[in-house]
């Protein structure tokens, strides 16, 4: 695709959309997709005449564009070596798309020996410079432990940033990453979520009891978390989290008087459809956030799979229990789905 640069004497910026595919978390390789259109030779020569002098004068966008032209053979003989040379010049000025493309070259071994550690370096620079595709790629490499020590917490952090940046692949990747992280629940109402592991820093929001979070990393007395609903990041005091939801306090004499016993003398368990608390109103209107999601007959992964739903399918939640949601889907189908695989309808 073509896009004009933000410089005063605008050159044509050719964006190479070569990124890691969404399935990469599950082990797929790097997508080898060329999405830039062919350019007529006469037009390519005119572009080259505008871009090349500015690139030699040190303009980062022009250097990036010239790298793209060499990568694709637009108006010049195709050369990965020269593409890398011009990308590198632009990247040294923190041109984020050039940093991203260098990362792709090293991840794919395109024109260079494949080097995942070097790919991590360039994806990391581009990610910190705000390039959403690089943020997604960095998340994938952290999730896979490819070129860097595996760190699912860091993978989730970068995937969240990529989602916020509008990267389509990152949403599915984030769902898969979150599914592999340990989940915790807020122990009491009003728990503060801070911007940093310091009680004096900004309180980003206050959480209700039993709010579900994914644990990303731990420091003395603090835990960095990701809200499963809304995908917000922050720090919570470690003592404010529990591995399981807290239950309503009930007097023991009421349990004795009102509880029923089965034949073995154990308290009878509620049926799967009666577990947890009811959900209604706006909170009940949800949408599936990932493809090929299993819907179970009960609130557990071990429960039988009744059917599957896909990203974008609407769900109406009836009950919530220990991170699971009992929901109704199209056609009146009903079953339990992991709560982190749903998000509120906008």
pLDDT > 90: percent of the chain: 57
Query: In this structure, are strands 191-194 and 203-207 parallel, antiparallel, or unpaired?
Result: antiparallel
Which residues, 6+ apart, have CB-to-CB distance to 11 below 8 Å?
4, 5, 47, 50, 51, 54, 59, 61, 62, 65
Q: Which residues pair with 186 in a beta bridge?
A: 241
Residue 340 confidence (pLDDT): 79
Q: Give the C-alpha separation, 80 to 71, whole Å.
A: 6
Of 176, 170, 137, 141, the closest CA to residue 292 belongs to: 176
| Average pLDDT for 135-153 | 95
Backbone angles phi, psi at 50, to 5 degrees: -80, -40
According to the model, what pLDDT value does residue 187 have?
92
Instruction: Catalogue the E-assigned strands of the chain.
Output: 2-4, 12-14, 183-186, 191-194, 203-207, 212-219, 222-227, 233-237, 241-242, 277-278, 285-288, 293-296, 305-309, 314-321, 324-328, 334-338, 342-344
- Considering only CA atoms, which of 73, 125, 63 is closest in space to residue 99? 125
Which is higher by pLDDT, 16 or 102?
102
- For residue 154, the surrounding DSSP H or E stretch is helix 152-164
End-to-end CA distance of the chain: 29
Q: How far apart are CA 86 and CA 63, in angstroms?
A: 5
Q: Judge contact between 212 and 340, C-beta under 8 A.
A: yes
- Tell me the three state secondary structure of residue 179: helix
Q: Which of 311, 307, 346 is nearest to 328 (CA)?
A: 307
Cα–Cα dist 165/146, whole Å: 23
Q: Which residues pair with 222 in a beta bridge?
A: 219, 237
Distance, CA of 165 to CA of 159 (rounded, Å):
10
Q: Is the pLDDT of residue 273 over 70?
A: no
Rounded to two decimals, what is the model's pTM?
Answer: 0.64
Residue 260 has pLDDT above 60, yes or no: no
263 pLDDT band (50/70/90 cuts)? very low
Whole-number Å distance between alpha carbons of 16 and 219: 39
Least confident window among 23-27, 166-170, 315-319:
23-27
């Amino acid at each position: 695709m073509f896009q004009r640069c933000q410089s005063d004497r605008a050159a044509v910026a050719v964006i190479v959309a070569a990124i890691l595919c969404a399935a990469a978390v599950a082990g797929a390789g790097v997508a080898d997709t060329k999405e830039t259109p062919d350019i007529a030779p006469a037009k390519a020569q005119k572009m080259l005449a505008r871009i090349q002098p500015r690139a030699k004068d040190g303009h980062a966008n022009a250097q990036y564009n010239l790298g793209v032209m060499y990568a694709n053979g637009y108006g010049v003989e195709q050369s990965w070596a020269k593409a890398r040379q011009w990308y590198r010049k632009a990247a040294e000025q923190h041109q984020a798309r050039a940093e991203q493309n260098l990362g792709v070259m090293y991840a794919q071994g395109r024109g260079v020996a494949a080097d995942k550690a070097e790919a991590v370096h360039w994806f990391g620079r581009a990610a910190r410079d705000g390039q959403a595709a690089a943020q997604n790629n960095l998340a994938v490499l952290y999730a896979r432990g490819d070129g860097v020590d595996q760190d699912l917490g860091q993978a989730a952090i970068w995937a969240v940033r990529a989602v916020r940046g509008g990267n389509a692949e990152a949403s599915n990747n984030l769902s898969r990453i979150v599914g592999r992280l340990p989940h915790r629940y807020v122990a009491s109402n009003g728990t503060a979520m801070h911007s940093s592991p310091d009680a004096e820093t900004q309180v980003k929001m206050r959480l209700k009891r039993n709010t579900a979070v994914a644990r990303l990393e731990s420091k003395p007395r603090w835990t960095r978390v990701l809200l499963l609903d809304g995908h917000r990041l922050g720090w919570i005091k470690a003592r404010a989290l529990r591995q399981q939801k807290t239950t309503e306090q009930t007097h023991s004499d009421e349990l004795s008087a009102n509880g029923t016993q089965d034949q073995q003398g154990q308290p009878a368990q509620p049926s799967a459809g009666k577990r947890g608390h009811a959900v209604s109103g706006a909170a009940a209107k949800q949408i599936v956030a990932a493809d090929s999601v299993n819907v179970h007959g009960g609130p557990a992964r071990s429960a039988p799979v009744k059917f599957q739903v896909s990203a974008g399918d609407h769900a109406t939640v009836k009950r919530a229990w220990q991170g699971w949601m009992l929901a109704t889907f199209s056609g009146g189908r009903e079953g339990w789905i992991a709560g982190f695989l749903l998000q509120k309808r906008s």
